[in-house]
């Protein structure tokens, strides 16, 4: 199935609530109504069509950059996930909503916010030394508190805190000084302090919050009498503050979120203002989008991903070092630097960007764990940056040992899983290799290359991986890089066939958001739908097959797995726990040399869907003679 169609199906396959359980909504887009059609037509046929004529020149720096710093920092950073002696779980930046804090009480917190350790130079240098090329910081998050000197509202850092400095001005100056592209996150649709904005249902009884007041997610249809209030907020605060940010700081990029809190027509009105005021500013895809349209310069995929679902065009993912975007003193779930080094290579290999977030403390200092992660990433990018900046996805198929990127006639092999003996077999690479070497080898001491067959080559590297997280081998080629699109599997090491990378036959499939244990294919509702992986083997191999899926109370049925002469039927039982990782050993399969197809198809679907499939593992079985 066409991946663009799948992306659209992903957007329209799940319901949208005003606020789902947890801190983020399943989807962030508008269900466009007739009310919005005039605004859509005006954009598609007029001002947006004109703005997209300069899209490529506007976004080129962003395409080249690949790696950026995301900062969530505000009044909420001071309590750091604690309020009145109580631990507050989840996203720390959602403190005001989660604890139903009034505007007056939030100002009490603001009166204590005095980040004396804030140093813009140190922040920007830390990002730059990590290898990041652009820097985005929260000028106003959902709490409505401006972290700059705003003349539109006195709910800001100058008027309501003892700090009396403008950190946005200092960061903008530091970025300009050090050649870093700079921009702002601005919460345009969610504003918990403003009496007319969506979100605050505890003090103002406004729509768009957890209580699902006034019709819930579609409040602007169920309660159209409230629309003038939202328009008033956009006119009096959102647009004027965006104008301030553009004129005072000349940002290169503006980043928005939660567009579904406002009707699409309002989001389009904001975007039109930006295009008229600052036509060269890059705008992310979460300002104005519906199930059919995305009006920004690039697409935003899911938050906190571990894997990436297929996306066409320009896109960006936003991981964070632990599980909260704002600083939380309780969240110690920081991932190792190797996770982000590999995630950066994975995103670049699929044509995307990585905007990596950290949440500084309320005193303005970076958490020590974040500093260590940034340092270790920087150690890698200093030596290997050429393999991720200004690159594109290569034409090679997926590899068992890692991923590949390309720039001109150079292929970069990002080897995460170093093979025994150091022999890296590159599947699907045709054509002539003129040179092979480790990217970290300044002298470009050559590595031996040999042809395995017409479609594959072998590169002999060191016996031990020079970099355990990601060793990069450079292959220089003559002429166009030709590729065999069929994936080559390793016969003596594990192969993971992710559902994200499968061929999806039939209509209705959608994707999970890619978080840990949520990189699944969903919407498997018909016997006409099947999941297929095609692959090659260069020698006979025996594997143990292990299937993984995420539990769902809406899933039940039976399915068949076929590959070679292997046939297996299995049940998906009822009463599964939602999100539980379920592992099923399917048996052992012997496969001959050649091309194979592993197919999973439903036999019976008893509930809403068959299952949320994550992957199939092929684990080599060693047989003794």
Give me the mean pLDDT over the 155-162 stretch: 98
Is residue 4 very low, low, confident or very high in pLDDT (cuts 50, 70, 90)? very low
Structure confidence at residue 624 (pLDDT): 47
Task: Give, to the nearest 10 degrees, the angle between helix 337-349 and helix 368-384.
Answer: 50
| pLDDT over 70 percentage in the chain | 95
Structure confidence at residue 7 (pLDDT): 38
pLDDT-wise least confident of 102-116, 407-421, 430-444, 555-569: 430-444
Please, which residues have CB within 8 angstroms of residue 575's CB and are 6 or more apart in sequence? 553
Is residue 294 very low, low, confident or very high in pLDDT (cuts 50, 70, 90)? confident
pLDDT-wise least confident of 286-290, 515-519, 531-535: 286-290
Structure confidence at residue 373 (pLDDT): 98
Strands 521-522 and 402-407: unpaired
Structure confidence at residue 27 (pLDDT): 64
Structure confidence at residue 549 (pLDDT): 98
Phi first, then psi, for residue 519 (nearest 5°) are -90, 55
pLDDT(170) > 50: yes
Is residue 616 very low, low, confident or very high in pLDDT (cuts 50, 70, 90)? very high
Give me the mean pLDDT over the 405-426 stretch: 96
Structure confidence at residue 480 (pLDDT): 86
Tens of pLDDT, residue by residue over 325-334, are 999 999 999 9
pTM greater than 0.95 (yes/no): no
Instruction: Give CA–CA dist 623/625, Å, rounded.
Output: 7
Q: Mean pLDDT over all residues of the chain?
A: 93
pLDDT(530) > 90: yes
pLDDT(524) > 50: yes
pLDDT(125) > 90: yes
Is residue 35 very low, low, confident or very high in pLDDT (cuts 50, 70, 90)? confident
| Half-sphere exposure (Cβ direction) of 31: Cα atoms closer than 13 Å | 14
Of the candidates 289, 297, 301, 293, the one whose C-alpha atom is nearest the C-alpha of residue 263 is 289
Structure confidence at residue 32 (pLDDT): 58
CA distance to 107, 121, 230, 296, 335, per residue, from 254 (Å)? 26, 21, 21, 10, 27
Both tokens of 205, joined, read 């009884």
Structure confidence at residue 20 (pLDDT): 56
Give me the mean pLDDT over the 282-288 stretch: 96
pLDDT(540) > 90: yes
For every residue of 197-261, DSSP letters joined together read STT--SSS--SSSTT-GGGGGGHHHH-GGGHHHHHHHIIIIIHHHHHHHHHHH--SEEE---GGG
Tens of pLDDT, residue by residue over 557-608, are 999 999 999 999 999 999 999 999 999 999 999 999 999 999 999 999 999 9
Structure confidence at residue 479 (pLDDT): 84
pLDDT(34) > 90: no
């Amino acid at each position: 199935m066409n991946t663009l169609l799948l992306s659209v199906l992903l957007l329209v396959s799940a319901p949208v609530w005003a606020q789902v359980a947890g801190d983020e909504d399943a989807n962030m887009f508008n269900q466009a109504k007739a009310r919005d059609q005039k605004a859509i037509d005006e954009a598609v046929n007029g001002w947006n069509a004109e703005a997209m004529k300069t899209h490529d020149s506007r976004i080129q720096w962003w395409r080249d950059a690949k790696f950026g710093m995301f900062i969530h920092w505000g009044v909420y950073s001071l309590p750091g996930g604690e309020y009145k002696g109580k631990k507050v779980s989840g996203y720390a930046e959602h403190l005001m909503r989660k604890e139903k804090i009034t505007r007056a009480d939030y100002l009490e917190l603001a009166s204590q916010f005095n980040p004396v350790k804030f140093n813009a130079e140190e922040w920007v240098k830390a990002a730059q030394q990590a290898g990041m090329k652009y820097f985005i910081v929260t000028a106003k998050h959902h709490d409505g508190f401006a972290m700059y000197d705003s003349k539109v509202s006195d709910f800001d850092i100058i008027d309501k805190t003892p700090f009396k400095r403008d950190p946005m001005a200092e960061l903008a100056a530091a970025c300009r000084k050090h050649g870093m592209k700079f921009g702002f996150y601005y919460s345009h649709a969610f504003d918990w302090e403003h009496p007319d904005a969506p979100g605050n249902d505890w003090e103002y009884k406004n729509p768009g919050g957890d209580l699902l007041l006034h019709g819930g997610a579609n409040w602007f249809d169920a309660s159209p009498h409230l629309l003038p209030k939202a328009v008033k907020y956009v006119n009096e605060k959102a647009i004027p503050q965006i104008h301030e940010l553009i004129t005072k700081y000349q940002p290169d990029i503006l980043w928005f979120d939660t567009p579904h809190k406002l009707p699409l027509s309002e989001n389009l009105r904001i975007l039109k203002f930006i295009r008229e005021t600052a036509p060269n500013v890059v705008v992310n895809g979460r300002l104005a989008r519906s199930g059919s349209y995305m009006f920004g310069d690039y697409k935003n995929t899911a938050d906190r991903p571990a894997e990436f679902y297929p996306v066409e065009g320009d896109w960006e993912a936003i991981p964070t070092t632990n599980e909260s975007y704002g600083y939380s003193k309780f969240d110690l779930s920081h991932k190792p630097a190797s996770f982000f080094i590999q995630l950066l290579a994975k995103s670049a290999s699929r044509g995307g960007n990585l905007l990596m977030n950290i949440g500084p403390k309320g005193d303005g200092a970076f958490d020590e764990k974040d500093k260590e992660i940034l340092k270790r990433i920087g150690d890698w990018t200093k030596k290997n940056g050429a393999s991720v900046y200004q690159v594109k996805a290569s034409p090679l198929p997926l590899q068992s040992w890692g991923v590949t990127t390309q720039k001109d006639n150079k292929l970069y092999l990002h080897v995460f899983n170093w093979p025994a003996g150091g022999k890296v077999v590159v599947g699907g690479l045709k054509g002539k290799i003129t040179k092979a070497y480790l990217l970290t080898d300044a002298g470009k001491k050559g590595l031996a290359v040999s042809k395995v067959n017409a479609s594959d080559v072998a590169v002999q590297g060191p016996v031990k991986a020079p970099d355990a997280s990601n060793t990069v081998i450079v292959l220089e080629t003559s002429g166009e890089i030709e590729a065999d699109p069929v994936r080559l599997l390793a016969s003596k090491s594990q192969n993971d066939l992710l559902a994200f990378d499968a061929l999806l036959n039939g209509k209705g499939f959608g994707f999970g958001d890619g978080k840990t244990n949520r990189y699944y294919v969903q919407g498997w509702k018909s016997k006409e739908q099947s999941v297929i992986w095609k692959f090659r083997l260069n020698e006979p191999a025996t594997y143990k097959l292990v299937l993984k899926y995420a539990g769902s109370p809406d899933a039940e049925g039976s399915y068949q797995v076929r590959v070679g002469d292997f046939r297996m039927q299995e049940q998906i039982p009822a009463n599964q726990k939602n999100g539980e990782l379920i592992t099923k050993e399917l048996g052992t399969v012997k496969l001959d040399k050649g091309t194979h197809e592993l197919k999973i198809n439903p036999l019976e679907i008893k509930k809403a869907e068959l299952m949320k499939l994550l992957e199939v593992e092929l684990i080599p079985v060693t047989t003794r003679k």
